[in-house]
Amino acid sequence: MARDPDTIQREIERARDALAESLDALGDRANPKRFVDAGKESVQSKLSDPKIKYGLIAIGALIAFALVRRLFR
């Protein structure tokens, strides 16, 4: 049975719109800036943990002390 050309045209437009929405969603998911932002948030949340924060400060202080000691020897 032959279909009406107007019906076919509407189906094509609906399919095109659905494809455009899918491509936009994929583009948003695969955006590198999104991955960078997620990585930054992850690192910031880990660095805000007192155990890690104070541990890094202690390591930095030890390195600074070793450098100063070596300079004045």
Note the pLDDT tens digit of each residue in 26-68. 988 888 888 899 999 999 999 899 999 999 999 999 999 999 9
Name the pTM for this structure. 0.48
Could you tell me which of 1, 53, 21 has the C-alpha nearest to residue 61? Answer: 53
Instruction: Provide the pLDDT for residue 73.
Output: 83
Contact 34, 28 (CB under 8 A): yes
